[in-house]
Structure 1
Amino acid sequence: MDKDSFFKDVYEVAKLIPEGRVTSYGAIAAYLGVKRSARVVGWAMNGAITEHDVPAHRVVNRIGVLSGKNHFQSPTLMEEMLAAEGVKVKNDQIVNFEKHFWDPMIELGL
């Protein structure tokens, strides 16, 4: 797996997540055909935080926890960005995660 092209693929999927929706590292990995590479998707998203066109704040862990929040400029920025899109967070976890979850396998029709 070429890291640069994989990261680019991750970013392209993340750019498709609609405002007010979230997905998980594992869902992106599964969509890209590397189901066991959720951690690598996480590394990619950590690198995307400074990219303005990649909504890294919309990618969370498999149970809706803001596990990447410490990679943002402030520990509350990820939550603030989600709140601005209508996604409520309590104790670093998305409220009604299932309602907000965007599954690329379903939404992009693989």
Structure 2
Amino acid sequence: MTRTRSWRCPIAEISLPPGARAAFFQAVWSIARLIPPGRVSTYGQIALYLPCPESVKEMDFLAFRARWVGEAMAACPSDVPWQRVINSQGKISQRPGAAQQRTLLEAEGIVFNDRAQVDLKRFGWNGPSPAWLKANGFVIPPGEGASQPGLF
């Protein structure tokens, strides 16, 4: 007897509404443009600065915002330093373009360890200033901001 699953992964079903997508992507790119050469940020760190779009349930936003940042980075215009955004493990996410991303980061002085990780404590970007975030309608994360933990 063959069993079929009726459960479907919710990730495939939850996406940004079309009306919120363009503004969300623009906000992601505004922040990514601030990351200086020789520094990296993570999808999750950028997501911390983004306000929840009005048309999105807060619970969905909190669960999927980092993934949506990844979608925005995959669709970014050429003036966005896409290579400077990596995953929370300090690694480049596996996808087409990953080798190019590593090459670009190494050319900026980013060092990878033998596990293909970047030391986020050493190379992580501390993010925009609270004044910039406030002036541009972004969220100021609680505490010291969104500094990244070290991996070694």
With the length of structure 1 as denominator, give the TM-score of the two structures: 0.82
Deviating above 6 A after TM superposition, structure 1's stretches of 4 or more consecutive aligned residues are none
Question: Which has the larger helix fraction?
Answer: 1
What's the offset of the Cα at 1:92?
3.0
Please name the residue that 1:43 is paired with. Answer: 71
Is 2:26 aligned against 1:3? no
Is 2:89 aligned against 1:71? no
Picking from 27, 50, 73, the partner of 2:45 is: 27
One-letter identity of the residue aligned with 1:87: I
Please name the residue that 1:61 is paired with. Answer: 87
Runs (5+) with no aligned partner, structure 1: none
Runs (5+) with no aligned partner, structure 2: 1-16, 53-60, 131-139, 141-152
Q: After superposition, what is the alpha-carbon deviation per residue over 1:36-62, rounded to whole angstroms, capped at 9, x for unaligned?
A: 2100001111112xx321011000111
Q: Distance between the aligned counterparts of 1:61 and 1:76, measured in 2?
A: 15
Q: After superposition, what is the alpha-carbon deviation per residue over 1:80-103, rounded to whole angstroms, capped at 9, x for unaligned?
A: 000010001244321x22111113
Picking from 18, 31, 35, the partner of 1:17 is: 35
Q: After superposition, what is the alpha-carbon deviation per residue over 1:1-48, rounded to whole angstroms, capped at 9, x for unaligned?
A: 600110011001000001000001011110113572100001111112
Q: Distance between the aligned counterparts of 1:39 and 1:16, measured in 2?
A: 20
Structure with the greater alpha carbon radius of gyration: 2
One-letter identity of the residue aligned with 2:116: D
Quote the sequence identity (%): 35
What's the offset of the Cα at 1:108?
2.1
Please name the residue that 1:82 is paired with. Answer: 105
Question: Which has the larger strand fraction?
Answer: 1
With the length of structure 2 as denominator, give the TM-score of the two structures: 0.61
Q: State the aligned residue count.
A: 102
